[in-house]
């Protein structure tokens, strides 16, 4: 999966989780609860509603590190089958984490979170390694196109300067090599 698709699916998952939280709040607290600014602080919420709220908060917090890594990989054009597989695992891990959080089983959701977080770390490290790799060096030296270093080989008429300048073989004024008299 490419990184742009992973970003879109990550955002879609976040919006779906927000919708589930809003729908649960309206179903358990009543429709007036969403439009009232006079909500009580001690509202009773079911354990399922609290898990849904915490799962959404966790999704938003994971977006703080997941979205920048995926966006940087998409913008820089990271091309790696391992990193693209990791992007798929990030999205699937976050979806599995949300479903497992909703179910209330504590010990099963931790591996889904860990796999998603480690995949995000892998993409970030893969992009950093690609970015800081040294550029390839060329084994050939550039050639000088000026021949006489940009100077005229013939002196102007009436001057006492020499009519030609001799250079040693292989010297070039561009490279700074010796050979000038």
Q: Establish if 69 belongs to a structural domain.
A: yes
Write down the pLDDT at residue 181.
Answer: 46
The number of folded domains in the chain is: 1
Q: Establish if 87 belongs to a structural domain.
A: yes
Write down the pLDDT at residue 46.
Answer: 84
Q: Establish if 8 belongs to a structural domain.
A: yes
User: What is the tens place of the pLDDT at every residue in 47-80?
Assistant: 898 999 999 999 999 999 999 999 999 999 888 8
The CATH number assigned to the domain holding 49 equals 1.20.120.550
Q: Establish if 159 belongs to a structural domain.
A: no
Contact 87, 80 (CB under 8 A): no
Q: Establish if 116 belongs to a structural domain.
A: yes
Write down the pLDDT at residue 31.
Answer: 72
Write down the pLDDT at residue 26.
Answer: 84
Q: Find how far residue 23's CA is from the centre of its chain.
A: 33
- For the segment 150-178, the average pLDDT, to the nearest whole number, is 53
Contacts by residues 64-69 (CB-CB < 8 Å, ≥ 24 positions apart): 65/120, 66/10, 66/90, 66/94, 66/116, 66/120, 67/7, 67/10, 69/120, 69/123, 69/124, 69/127
Helix axis angle, 81-103 relative to 3-29, nearest 10°?
A: 10
Residue written as token pair 């742009």: 4
Q: Establish if 83 belongs to a structural domain.
A: yes
Q: State which residues form the domain around 51.
A: 3-35+45-131
Q: Establish if 161 belongs to a structural domain.
A: no
Q: Establish if 170 belongs to a structural domain.
A: no
Write down the pLDDT at residue 69.
Answer: 94
Q: What is each CA distance from 127 to 5, 75, 92, 101, in whole angstroms?
A: 17, 11, 21, 30
How confident is residue 105, by pLDDT bands cut at 50, 70 and 90?
confident
């Amino acid at each position: 999966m490419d990184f742009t698709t992973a970003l879109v699916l990550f955002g879609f998952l976040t919006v779906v989780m927000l919708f589930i939280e809003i729908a649960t709040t309206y179903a358990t607290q009543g429709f007036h609860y969403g439009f009232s600014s006079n909500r009580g602080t001690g509202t009773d919420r079911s354990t399922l509603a609290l898990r849904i709220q915490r799962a959404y908060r966790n999704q938003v917090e994971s977006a703080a590190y997941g979205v920048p890594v995926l966006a940087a990989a998409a913008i820089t054009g990271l091309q790696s089958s391992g990193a693209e597989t990791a992007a798929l695992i990030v999205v699937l891990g976050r979806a599995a984490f949300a479903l497992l959080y909703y179910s209330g089983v504590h010990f099963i959701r931790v591996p889904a979170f860990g796999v998603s977080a480690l995949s995000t770390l892998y993409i970030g490290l893969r992009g950093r390694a690609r970015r800081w790799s040294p550029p390839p060096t060329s084994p050939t030296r550039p050639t000088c196109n000026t021949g006489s270093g940009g100077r005229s080989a013939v002196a102007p008429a009436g001057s006492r300067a020499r009519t030609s300048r001799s250079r040693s073989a292989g010297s070039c004024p561009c490279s700074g090599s010796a050979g000038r008299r």
